[in-house]
A and B are shown apart, each in its own frame.
Chain A
Amino acid sequence: MEDKDFDVHPPHLYPAYKSTILRSPTKPLMLVKEFLEDVSLPVFGESVIGKLDNDLTKNARKNGQPIGERIKVSGIVTDEYRRPMPNTLIEIWQANAAGRYIHKEEIHDAPLDPNFLGGGRMLTDRAGRYTFYTVKPGAYPWGNHFNAWRPNHIHFSVMGHQFEQRLVTQMYFPGDPLFDFDPIFQSVPKHARELLIAKFKMEWTEPEFALAYEFNIVLNGKSKTPFE
């Protein structure tokens, strides 16, 4: 692979995604690797994770099950050198099956689900693996341009072990017809877009219960010995 193939991240300024225009730095970022390479990120203990935190189909029930297609998402978190990263905090959030976020500022006229929040969290296990259950999020319209729709996606926040390993990203679903029209997805270099798309895993499905997807996460650089 050529060096440029390792450049997977979107630019700060991507005018097709209009909000970047007034919110991206105009001056070059300062290279400060030597001052920050020894800075860690905080580690979290099991006690911060609630019993239902990794099951969005259960963690906000009021009077029944949330509506939607039940799915399971699993994967492994590693550094660039394929080393599994145990004890890594993953936080997720998403729209409900109708494409509606519970956020108070959301104005899309699709129904809220009284039994679905759309937020969750988990720690990776000793092998760097995670799993959560949810319902497949719906697509939703947004105001970026006329008739703009976001592909189905789940937001991920990942707390690596070192400062440079912080990551916030979005997981998409295979074959989404909106990929070609979404500037947020398109902001990623073409060759790297596949890295944001989960793989359907027939062998991981739970018969009569849930379809399964695999989404592996690779964090920047080389992780030091993980905290045990």
Chain B
Amino acid sequence: MEKLRQTPSQTVGPFFAYSLTAEQYGYDYNSIVKGSLLGDKTKGEQISITGSIYDGNGDAISDAMIELWQADELGKYRIAPIQSRNNDFLGFGRLGTGAKPDHGFRFTTVKPGLVNGQAPHINVILFMRGSLRHLYSRLYFSDENNAKDPLLLSMDATRRQTLISQRMEVNKNIEYQFNIHMQGKKETVFFNL
């Protein structure tokens, strides 16, 4: 059978928020995906994932959108559909970077378990004005054993650090800082699928 050509990608543009992240920005429309990846009854130690996204000049980008998708504490991805109310862990979240003056993001989640022998990690999808195609990346944790992770091992050792979020304790909350650099010495590793 003759294959179809894919629909080409286009930028998310600067004005996505009133549809994709409406509640976070205070628009009069509900959001079905938010900054919390937790369900109403998710167990386990909550953590925050915080950071900013920097352009080639080192300036924080104020009109990007970031999506996280991860397995639960046991290393299982959610299969059941996400509903308007959910008891179980969602594993999926989305935030824009334009709602706060510092242009940062702050997700709430639990740390994922090992997935198929890979170190605990969170999948990252990144969109912004000026990105004609979204970008895929991954977040690892500084306090986990990442030495044998096959994906990290398959890349240039000098660039692995760009994917490892740094554990911090802030007011007794556990926070992992994950800054994304589009360009420059610390340019984040992005994937081609």
Answer whether A24 and B79 are a contact pair too, CB < 8 Å, given A32-B154, A81-B3, A101-B15: no
Give Cα A132 to B64, complex, Å.
Answer: 26
Known A-B contacts: A91-B19, A102-B27, A119-B29. Give 12 more (CB < 8 A): A8-B7, A20-B130, A24-B132, A29-B191, A35-B154, A42-B90, A44-B83, A80-B5, A95-B15, A166-B134, A168-B127, A188-B8
When the two chains form their complex, are residues A117 and B8 in contact, meaning their CB atoms are under 8 A apart? no
Q: How many residues of B contact A (CB 8 A)?
A: 75
Residues of B within 8 A of A (CB): 1-20, 22, 25, 27-30, 32, 55-57, 61, 63, 67, 69, 77-85, 90-92, 98, 116, 118, 123, 125, 127-136, 150-151, 154-155, 159, 182-183, 187-193
Per DSSP, chain A at the interface is loop
Q: Would A48 and B56 count as touching, CB distance under 8 A?
A: no
B92 touches A168 (CB 8 A): no
Interface hub of B14, B63, B155, B188 (most chain A Cβ within 10 A): B14
Question: When the two chains form their complex, are residues A48 and B84 in contact, meaning their CB atoms are under 8 A apart?
Answer: yes
Query: B8, A8: Cβ atoms under 8 Å?
Result: yes
Q: Which of A67-119 contact B (CB under 8 A)?
A: 78, 80-82, 87, 91-93, 95, 101-106, 117-119
| Total A-B residue contacts, Cβ distance less than 8 Å | 247
Majority secondary structure of chain B interface residues (helix, strand, loop or mixed): loop
Question: Which B residues lie within 8 Å of A218 (CB)?
Answer: 4-7
How far apart are the CA atoms of A217 and B133 in the complex, in Å? Answer: 16
Whether A30 lies near B155 (C-beta < 8 A) is yes
28 residue pairs A–B, Cβ–Cβ below 8 Å: A8-B6, A8-B7, A9-B8, A9-B9, A23-B56, A23-B61, A25-B187, A25-B190, A27-B187, A32-B192, A40-B77, A42-B91, A43-B80, A43-B82, A44-B32, A44-B82, A80-B5, A103-B18, A117-B18, A120-B19, A155-B13, A157-B19, A166-B125, A168-B10, A168-B127, A170-B10, A189-B8, A227-B79
Contact between A93 and B125 (Cβ–Cβ < 8 Å)? Answer: no
Does A200 make an interface contact (CB < 8 A)? no
In the bound complex, CA of A11 to CA of B22 (Å): 29
A residues with CB within 8 A of B: 1, 5-6, 8-12, 14, 17-33, 35-45, 47-48, 50, 59-60, 78, 80-82, 87, 91-93, 95, 101-106, 117-121, 155, 157, 163-164, 166-170, 184, 187-189, 192-193, 195-196, 216-220, 227
Q: Which A residues are CB-close (under 8 A) to B84?
A: 45, 47-48
What residues on A are CB-neighbors of B92 within 8 Å? 42
A22-B134 CB under 8 A given contacts A30-B155, A103-B17, A120-B19: no
Query: Is A168 a contact partner of B57 (Cβ separation < 8 A)?
Result: no
A23 contacts B192, C-beta separation under 8 Å: no
